[in-house]
Structure 1
């Protein structure tokens, strides 16, 4: 049992369990051993030679894993900043809530219900379309087209003259913002190794929310000085540099690399036996159990320890892996090509429906519920804050309300970096003390700070609203959700991509669908419910729901590996997890 994660004796190495740390090499070094480890052929981290790269890169210069740091950083920076801008555009009407409600003679809950749920529903449907298209035609083209359509939609927004018009604008933004929202995380997994993904995954999961909060600062001032319609014409100009950056810097990352077989590993108790020329390595850490009985070895087959192809890629007819040294590096002109035709042999229809059976996978179901809940808490907190502060006794104007969300954006950004960095360090620490074997469940430890911050936030914020506390107290307490959210995202999002090796994008769609369902319910019912039951009862109920959802991490951590083993042995689930043609 590794750190409380129960072993699955029938399937010792289910999908997600990989060898991350070569403890054999370190033991040999300490013993001045002359024989080489059977793992010596595997590629390793440049700085920490004992860290085995997962997934193993090919020898091709066109493999995204082999791209230089500058190229990867530029792609990620471009995508994250673009998502921040798009997220800001999607949420920029938040500070105009009272103005629109007054202008079109509706109350605030009705205004929210009119604008938000249709856009959320459209975005949820578009995620399935974006996932299936990316499985067949790649990612780069979709992102570029999506941002172009949003760009033109901003021009159309200048002429908005009714709530129905604004609702239509939101639906279009939801439809074409889906590729960018969905594909950032798969692109990160295409380029970044398992032990380096944490901070980027945490950041990618919350960057849209951060952008929405930050946009209120600009949007509030524009609304106060120029009016709502000028939000759109200014956004039209702002998107131009992001379009150019996507075209020139964001490459296609779809790539298929061959499996690399690792040797058999037998984990038992007693001594180290490394024999060259054999297909087995015996790793025998001494465990003092207080008994003379020896544990039976756990055998992992060579097939079990094979390093699979990139989780977000299927067979490709145009972006292929060539292990030979003759593979020619793509020119800049080749990298700028938008339309490459069909990149895989997968069926578009099958790819569209594939997320549905994945919803019953234990790891997907857990991440779906928990991550969706925590993102919904952050969004709900913002909606209620606007609902309270726009009306008596606060009566904040849009330009003043604009700055309320800025601290949350800053804290969310810092918390994402801290959560991801801590997560990456933690999995290496735990894997090193688990004979070098990494279990995806190690990521779930990050749920501890997430549930602490969010629960304290719920139990504190309700009474503050009830007694009309000063704005500063409300803002500071609301930051707890921005602190906790990235820790939950770091745990849940990375857990999906580590356990669903071949269909991680489709699994992420399933997760996003439930997140959108939660957000749909929150925007449709929470404002009116908050108005009817009052802040104390509302937040106490949300605190209980938060604890219930977060408590699912305990059985998932303990039995997660057994659940993955069960999936590996089930014919239907195994077939559902494959990227089939």
Structure 2
């Protein structure tokens, strides 16, 4: 016998007429805990009471903020996550001049990027729990200012060690924002909006990689290396201004009067405890989240990091490109990332809405994974095109064919990143911040390890063989885990309705 399904997560259009409002109010039996006043407030503010999660009656509740305010906060965190990968990958176009300046090799220069990737994954374990206790705004302002100072120092660094110190410290400060995207979206967005809104900061994180290398190539060619760091500092200052005019998004619906965050003042609603620093690792106990993290880490490494970090080391000697010409190669990743976002967030939200309707108002989180399979196919096709065409290229004769493969792989990577990130958060929306930290840690750690073995992989297997190996890893450790999570989710759903 089939059990009756809840319609709590059904998505309805806003109510615009009084008759519709009365009808909606009378149909609110699915939320018996709501008072008539609360129901009426939700209908007047949102047009429906069928919301997930249910906001309070407080206009200061971030879920009740005006849409422009919500978008402003999410765009702020999007720009910050974009800036973090922009600054890390922006070093790619300066590898050759920095290697000459510090009497080192191109491989040594690539560590300026890899050390920042590692710090992006580690230090959110420090920053995010502190932000969840004392409020995000003061830490985000401080992080932007600290990173600004380090980037100014980078412009004047005289030795390899000094420059490495400025890169590590700048990443330490900007790490305040790299894992806050899921938390901010979790504070501001309803379930039916998460795919699109998580897509904003996700595409910022992914698109920052090619944009950094693209823009800094022109800066390096026309103004010199130090202006790369000064450009970073200007971006940090703009971030700081954005956060100064932002609002605190942390809110407790259980104790709304207690959550009045001031600078470094502990809230009783979110007391400090040492356990908050290890709590994100508890997400490993959720099989769905663990499989999603594995899939996101593998695809990000082989469809983003390897193409970005290794592109100068492969294409500069092969095609004899100067920094400006090298930067133009990254347009392919930018175009691919933009197309991927169009096909990721809005599409996955639309697909989930259709799935909810087909299931008579019942929301099943694994339904979102159907969209990710398109991304995996594009990643594999793109890597094959890139590897084969680059292996067959004639030295000294530039060809666009490998860039077509890069664009295809970047499109697929952005689809996978947005979909599996949103899926992981949907599996535990009340701890969206911890999910974001856990995912970012493993994605950044795996990306950090990559540049240490990429050169040996290309040397021993060649470009074509390396592309084949990376495709195999994507299939075994990204596509397959997603299929497992999807299959188990459908199986559990069928068992529940029998």
Q: TM-score range by the shorter chain?
A: 0.7 to 0.9
Q: Which residue of 1 aligns with 2:283?
A: 358
Residue 389 (str. 1) matches residue 318 (str. 2): no
CA distance in 1 between partners of 2:256 and 2:178 (Å): 24
Other structure's SS at 1:347 match: coil
Structure 1 residue aligned with 2:487: 558
Superposition pairs of residues 442-521 of structure 1, within 5 angstroms: 442-468=367-393, 470-521=398-449
Which segment drifts farther, 162-171 or 542-551? 162-171
Structure number with the higher helix fraction is 2
Task: Kindly indicate whether residue 8 of structure 2 is the aligned counterpart of residue 19 of structure 1.
Answer: yes
Distance 1:410 1:563 in 2: 39
- Displacement of 1:18 in angstroms is 7.5
Partner residue in 2 for 1:89 = 87
Instruction: Quote the offset at 1:125 in angstroms.
Output: 2.1
Matching residue within 526, 531, 537 for 2:459: 531
Is 1:174 the counterpart of 2:103 in the alignment?
A: no
Instruction: Pick which of 32-41 and 399-408 moved more.
Output: 32-41
* 1:134-149 equivalent positions in 2, closer than 5 A: 134-149=131-146
Shift of residue 338, structure 1, vs aligned partner: 4.4
Runs of 4+ in 1 over 3 A off after TM superposition: 32-37, 40-51, 102-107, 315-318, 337-348, 561-566
Aligned 8 A contact 1:57 1:65 in 2: yes
Where 1:20 maps in the other structure, the secondary structure is coil
Q: Does 1:194 align with 2:185?
A: no
Distance of aligned partners of 1:368 and 1:563 in 2 relative to their CA distance in 1, 3 Å threshold: farther
Distance 1:565 1:521 in 2: 40
Shift of 1:251: 1.1
Cα distance in 1, alignment partners of residues 108 and 201 from structure 2: 31
Contact 2:356 2:362 in 1 (8 A): yes
Query: How far is the alpha carbon of 1:421 from its aligned partner?
Result: 0.6
Alpha-carbon deviation of 1:532? 2.8
Name the counterpart of 1:370.
295
CA contact (8 A) 1:199 1:417 kept: no
Q: Could you tell me whether the CA contact under 8 Å between 2:283 and 2:435 is conserved in 1?
A: yes
Aligned to 2:16: none
Whether 1:245 and 2:234 are equivalent positions in the alignment is no
- SS of the aligned residue for 1:435 comes to coil
Tell me how far 1:52 sits from its aligned partner: 1.9
Residue 123 (structure 1) aligns with: 120
Q: How far off its partner does 1:76 sit?
A: 1.8
How much has 1:196 moved relative to structure 2? 1.1
Distance 1:409 1:93, change over 3 A: same
Which runs of 5 or more residues in structure 1 are unaligned?
2-6, 24-28, 259-314, 321-333, 567-581
CA distance in 2, matches of 1:215, 1:505: 26
1:154 and 2:151 aligned: yes
- Cross-structure match for 1:379: 305
Matched, 1:39 2:30: yes
Cα distance change of structure 1 residues 451 and 46 upon mapping to structure 2, 3 Å threshold: farther
Query: Do the aligned residues in 2 keep the contact of 1:201 with 1:489 (CA within 8 Å)?
Result: no
8 Å contact kept, 1:316–1:345: no
**1:523 and 1:346 mapped to 2: Cα distance?**
40
Distance 1:18 1:89, change over 3 A: farther
Change beyond 3 A, Cα 1:36–1:254: closer
Deviation at residue 22 of structure 1 after TM alignment = 7.2
Q: Cα deviations across residues 108-164 of structure 1 (Å, max 9, x unaligned)?
A: 23332x323332332222110022212311211221111111011111112112222
In the alignment, the residues of structure 2 paired with residue 225 and residue 404 of structure 1 have an alpha-carbon distance, to the nearest angstrom, of: 17
How much is the aligned-residue C-alpha RMSD, in angstroms? 3.1
- Give 1:340 deviation, angstroms: 4.2
When structure 1 is superposed on structure 2, of 368-377 and 212-221 the one drifting more is 212-221
Give yes or no for contact 1:116–1:523 (8 Å, CA) kept in 2. Answer: no
Scaled by the length of structure 2, the TM-score of the pair is 0.87
TM-score, normalisation: structure 1: 0.75
Q: 1:492/1:558 Cα in 2 relative to 1: closer, same or farther (>3 Å)?
A: same
The whole-number CA distance in structure 1 between the counterparts of 2:225 and 2:171 is: 19
**C-alpha distance 464-345 of structure 1, shift in aligned 2 (>3 A):** same
Separation in 2, partners of 1:33, 1:136 = 38
Which deviates further from its counterpart, 44-53 or 121-130? 44-53
CA separation of 1:468 and 1:102: change in aligned 2, threshold 3 A: farther
1:372–1:516: 8 Å Cα contact kept in structure 2?
Answer: yes
